[in-house]
Amino acid sequence: MTPLRIATFNLENLDERPAGGIDFDDRVALMRPQFQRLRADVLCLQEVNTHSVTKSGPRLFTALDRLLAGTEYEHWHRVHSLNRGGVHPSDKHNLVIISKMPIRAHRQVWHDLVPPCAYRPVRANPAPDEPQRVEWDRPILHAELGLPGGRSLHVINVHLRAPRAVWLQGQKERFGRWLSVGGWAEGYFLAGVKQAGQALEVRLLVEEIFDARPDALVVVCGDFNAGEHEAGMRIIKGDDEDTGNGHLAMRMLVPLERSLPEGQRYSVIHHGRPVMLDHILVSRPLLGWYLGAEIHNETLGDELVSPATIHAPPESYHAPVVAEFSLPLG
């Protein structure tokens, strides 16, 4: 049997030029032991920022390179997401997959399976004459990894839209105050459309993989910005209770935090409330080799309260989530 550990970690704007007076060396000192504790063979990372050394130079993952320097992950295989034009990484919030195993293929999915929605805001001021495109904020990153024995592991890294109201023309002031409840409500509705649209694209990508091989080994990792019973998660999971068709049960994805006691199932503390926003979902064939999960949430601060009370907090307010498997050699 071959041990395999897969981890997901939202690094909370990993940037070597952090805002808010944060010292990047402090971040490295805190986060490097977190990476060592993961003991991961595959890492799915979110919110990794880039910088160019010169004005016209390529955008580099200098912060991530510094964080991983001297660790076992430093020289592993790595792929990352690109900007909307598909030319180079974005300035902020890139997705990264790091793998000890060879990466056979990878691709970015961003409105490749689901076109942008057309919507004409009713509360915008002035109101647009024509419907506007509602696009997802970020892509999906898919990598096919080579396992011992020749099988492939499909790793999908996601960062779904947070449930924060989308800006509307003439409805929100510069410092974040909304001018009407109706304006906020429409912005919140649009945020839900963006998250659900991303989730639909993830599910359709999973469907493509299952169409090619029904017993595919699939893992979807990342920051879903949603609990298990919220819309984004339900769309991606595809439970047979939702489809009402037992014949489709092999196509559902299983959240691995279900195997942990309910009191341990949280990756974020939001205004005093523990919530599970970061997930690892696996296909039924991969579930057969599952051993256990970990959520490293012992040192979590409150993502709303702590930044207001602590000067320059260096940690991420998301806990890493890890799943361990034991795969057959052949």
% pLDDT > 90, the chain: 86
Quickly state the pLDDT bin for 310 (edges 50, 70, 90): confident
What confidence score (pLDDT) does residue 35 get?
Answer: 97
CB 50 within 8 A of CB 94: yes
Tokens found for residue 293: 């999960």
What confidence score (pLDDT) does residue 330 get?
Answer: 61
The Cα 242–Cα 118 span in angstroms is 27
Would the pLDDT of 159 be above 80? yes
Quickly state the pLDDT bin for 2 (edges 50, 70, 90): confident
Which amino acid makes up residue 104? Answer: R
Would the pLDDT of 138 be above 80? yes
Would the pLDDT of 56 be above 80? no
The gap between the terminal CA atoms of the chain, to the nearest Å, is 9
List of domains in the chain: 2-327 (3.60.10.10)
**Whole-structure pTM value:** 0.96
Q: What digits encode the pLDDT tens for the residues 95-120?
A: 999 999 999 999 999 999 999 999 99
Provide φ and ψ at 191, rounded to 5°.
Answer: -60, -40
Contacts of 71 (CB under 8 A, 6+ apart): 32, 35, 36
CB 324 within 8 A of CB 256: no
Q: How does DSSP classify residue 161?
A: P
Would the pLDDT of 307 be above 90? no
Q: Which residues pair with 118 in a beta bridge?
A: 133
Contacts of 114 (CB under 8 A, 6+ apart): 197, 200, 201, 204
Lowest mean pLDDT, pick from 68-77, 174-183, 188-197:
174-183
In this predicted model, which residue has the larger pLDDT, 161 or 20?
161
